[in-house]
Amino acid sequence: DGGITQSPKYLFRKEGQNVTLSCEQNLNHDAMYWYRQDPGQGLRLIYYSQIVNDFQKGDIAEGYSVSREKKESFPLTVTSAQKNPTAFYLCASSLRQDNQPQHFGDGTRLSIL
């Protein structure tokens, strides 16, 4: 079945450690996105990529980095510079056109040890 796979479902980070969240899609979508959700809040955009080897900062990019070497993959690294990384992270993808819905993965919950 086509879809978006995020892994792992749960992740724990030690102080000063970088961690990488995986997002893979087999929908042949050009655009991919990373969102962060804090408890009781809506989603906020971290980074997005419209094509391979190109990506743009969203509203809350500080302390995060991404890469887009393949169309199917858009990993997110939470660096040690992100002082409050505990959150629920959701990846999405869409066709790179106007009037196209975004489809979401099941998310990764990141916590600090």
Partner 1 sequence: GIQVEQSPPDLILQEGANSTLRCNFSDSVNNLQWFHQNPWGQLINLFYIPSGTKQNGRLSATTVATERYSLLYISSSQTTDSGVYFCAVSAGYSGAGSYQLTFGKGTKLSVIP
DSSP for 45-110 reads EEEEEEETTEEEE-TT-TTEEE--SBTTB--EEE-TT-S---EEEEEEEE-SSTT---EE---EEE
CB 46 within 8 A of CB 36: yes
Residues 41, 69, 81, 111: which binds partner 1 (CB under 8 A)? 41
Query: Minimum distance from CB of 40 to partner 1 (Å)?
Result: 8
Residue 62 class from Cβ within 10 Å (0-12 exposed, 13-18 middle, 19+ buried)? exposed
Query: Minimum distance from CB of 38 to partner 1 (Å)?
Result: 11
31 binds partner 1 (CB under 8 A): yes
69: nearest Cα among 40, 32, 110, 43: 32
Q: Which is nearer to partner 1, 80 or 104 (CB)?
A: 104
48 binds partner 1 (CB under 8 A): yes
22 binds partner 1 (CB under 8 A): no
33 binds partner 1 (CB under 8 A): yes
- Binding residues for partner 1 (CB under 8 A): 31, 33, 35, 37, 40-45, 48, 50, 56, 58-59, 88, 90, 92, 94, 96, 98-104, 106-107, 109
